Structure formats: C-alpha cells, structure tokens
Amino acid sequence: MSDVAAPVITRENLVLPESIEIIDGEVRIPTLELPLVLEDNFTGEKLGHAKASSDEALEAALAAAQRVHVEGTWSGVSIERRAEILDKIAVALASEAPRLAALEAFATGAPVKQTSVVGFITSAAFHLAAQTIRDGALLSTETSDAGHTVEVHHFPLGPALNLVPWNAPAPMAAHKTASSLAAGAPTILKPSEYAPYGTTEVGRIIHEVLVAEGAPAGTFQLIQGGAHQGGVAVSDSRIRAVSFTGGLVGGSAIAAQCAANYTSLQLELGGNNPLVILPDTTTADAARAAADLMTTMNGQWCRALGRLVLPADRADEILEAVLAELSGIKAGDPLDPSTDFGPIVHSIHRARLDEAIAERVAAGGTVHTSMPVPDEKQFLAPVLLTGVSDEASREEVFGPVATVHTYTSDDEAVAIANGTPFGLEAYVFGQDTERALSVARRIRAGEVKVNGSTIMSLHLMTPRPAWGLSGMGEEGTVETIRIFTGAQVVGLEGAFALHRH
C-alpha cells in the first residue's frame, strides 16, 4: 500500500470530465447540444450547453443492446463470473471515490461531506449486487409434492434502460446499473442533463472494466441528453425494462410509454414526507430531526421533510427550536469539507422553488427562516411555512421547504401525515416507542422511521417501496435486480390431467 496520501480535491483543482457517450463499445463525443446551459451553482459561472446523443447514436445503442440480448453473450455468462466482474467494477469505483464525491458536490450543490458518504454507495452497490446473485436472487429451488426439484429462474427480460436524476446521480446510476447488469441485461444508462459529471465518470469506469474483462460490446452503453433522448429509448420496443427516478411529470410520461409496450417498469417519483412529533418528544430531538431532514443534500432529496406535524400545545416552542437549530448550520461552498449546506442545483430549479414558496404564501402561509447563507443567488435558506392549509400543501416541493401543521390527537396527526397523494417516506418521533411504532404503522408510506432521520434505509435487505404518486415497482437490493427479469419455473411433473384406462 502506498504511503502517499491522495490529493485533496478542491474547487481549484477539480477537473470536470468531458461529456462522452459510449455506443456499441466506442467512446465518443455527443454531437448535439441542448438549450440547457450548465452552471457552477456556487459561483454562478456558465459552463456551456449540456450535450446530447443524436437519434442515430440512440438507434445504434438500441441495436447493440438487442444484439447482445438475442445472442445471449452477457446473460449466458455464469452467475459466478458475472458477480466476479461486478466486484471488479466495485474496486475500480472505490479507487475513484474522492473524485466522484467532489463531482457530485460540484454538480448538485450538496456538501462534499455528504457526497463522500454517498460516494461509498457507488462502489458498494456493485459488491452488493454481486453477492446478491451469488446468494440465489436469480435461481432458487423448491421440492414438489412428488419429490421432484422445481427450479425458479429469474432471466433478463431484454435490454434495460436506467434513467438517473440530478440530486444523487452517481450512486443511483451505480445501484440501477449494478442491478441490471447483475440480472444479465444489456444496459443503457442516461444521466440527468443537469448533473452529468459523476454519472458519466461512473459509466466510463464500468465500460473500462467490462472491456478489460472481455464483455461484448453493447453490454453497457451511455447516452446523454434530456427528455427527447430518454423518450426515444423508453418508447422503443427493444427496451424491456426501465428504471426511473425523478419527477412526477416525467414518471407519468414514462409509465404511459411503457404501458404501450408492456415494458417492465420501476418508478420512484419523490414524496411530500411527514415528520410527526409526538407530544412526549424532547424539544432537542424534534429540532434536530427537522433540521436534519431539511438540510441533508440541501433538502433536494426524495426523502426530505415536506410536512412538519406538531402537537398544537407545543408547536410554537418546537418551531422556535427548529429555527435555532437551523441558524447554527454552516452554509457555503459545497466543495469545502466544513460546509453543511450548499446551493440549489441550478438557477432554473431555484426559480421553481421561489414560485412554490410564493404559491404557499398566497394561500395564507407565513415564511420562517433563520439560516445565514452566502449572497450568491442560488442559495436558499431553509423555509418553514405556517398557516398553509392541508389542501394547499399537498404537492411536493423538491428543496429545503416544509409546511408546519398542528394536531390535538394521534388520529389527527395520522390524517395530516396521510393527507397527500404521495407515500414514500415518513418519520415519527416519541419517547414512548410503542406508541410511536403504533402511529408509524398507520401512515401510508413505503418506509416509516421511528426516532431516526438518516439518509440510509432501515435495513440493507428490506425493500424500498413507493405508495401512491411516489412511484411503482419496489426498489431494493433484491427487488431492483428482479425488475429487470422475468421468472421461469422449470421442473419434472410426470403426471397427466386426465385418467384414462
């Protein structure tokens, strides 16, 4: 092991990767530009137009993926060998973790101290997928009443398409792609046009390892672009499975396109997540939880706080404590290791957040904010809004913005928590854990955490479901792999339907 420390990556020495596409084994430069101008969200510097793959490149990618599927040159690789290659991708990604974390911080505005943790997930996703297929996710057996072995295979449905959002792009790209490759599906990956850097680097590393390990061209491909490029790929009948994380509008369009072709689909579309503070919660815990959930990834994550649900007789006290907690959080350059809160991803999204806040103020809301932030225009201090009705606060605000609601009974608290069409994540805090768990079980959300507010799931091997408008098709360690597969049951029966003599 080398004694030389890895260089510290700063804003001054960070090199952004060139935009590339990987089509049928060839790494090349996309030929098109989008109207979208990329930005340094801390300084406001314009970085040029986002790049996009041409229709000709998309057709070549789809044809290559279909060829690999039909010929079985990736699905035919043994599970053990496939897992070995995934582990090698994981090792290669781990060696680039500091740079990936810096690229994620630069692109999204999330502080590097947070993206460094997320960067670990990028490598771990491939190790975990490898171990999951070794452990039998793709092949299991049962014994029939007649004593015969019945095999349950999970075979790839066909070429897979993974569409990645801008808020944690590299880890999501890794999770989706590790899962689809583990399933045996030739995979096409598209980064978000708003934050292409980390995902592009993940794609480059995956490609280089696959080439070194002798995987056929077309096993993994990378395309660039926006809604047009994603739409072309989603609507193509050769794509047999799609995994998308993003917004409701995009998810609805993708669902309609997939329905036309009976394409397997997994959607995660965000949530308006409640935090229910029960009356026996300490003021310190309530304040810490709310501040955590509003500032993790700058509030730009699918499981961030949307509704703060407080006991009526303690609401003023807890709101004051939350604002005090927020006032002590350091905002600044996302590439500075001491920063706890960074800028909004892009000026376009910042304008959307301003509009959402204005709508809620027009509906009777009062803005409460306390965090000092730099003067740069893309910073938005976390905003708590009181006085907004349940009806006017049903929709998700994808940023550090939450509405405050009060209740006088557990039934009322549950009704407020369930008062949106979303159902991704929920949080319940209370010192009486049995009461808190009882309330948690009544909230309609895919995961409900009691007395915790971290970015991690409750358990590595539990599913990550999405209820209501939050999505469809479960994510998870096993679940995401199986999104890309169809089950086949094979076995000896040795009997007839009719008895004839």
Cα 473-303-97 angle, rounded to 5 deg: 90
Which tokens belong to 107?
């692109």
The per-residue DSSP string of 269-309 comes to ----EEEEE-TTS-HHHHHHHHHHHHHGGGG-STTSEEEEE
Contact 59, 229 (CB under 8 A): no
Contact 87, 130 (CB under 8 A): yes
How far is 413 from 391, CA to CA, in rounded Å?
15
Environment class of 409 (CB within 10 Å of its CB; exposed 0-12, middle 13-18, buried 19+): exposed
Which tokens belong to 113?
């101290």
Contact 133, 182 (CB under 8 A): yes
Contact 163, 242 (CB under 8 A): yes
Residue among 96, 201, 268, 425 flagged as catalytic: 268
268 flagged as catalytic? yes
Q: Which helix (H) or strand (E) holds 242?
A: strand 241-245
The half-sphere exposure of 351 on its side-chain side, counting CA atoms within 13 A, is: 3
- Sign of the Cα torsion 234, 240, 246, 252 reads positive
Q: Give the active site residues.
A: 268
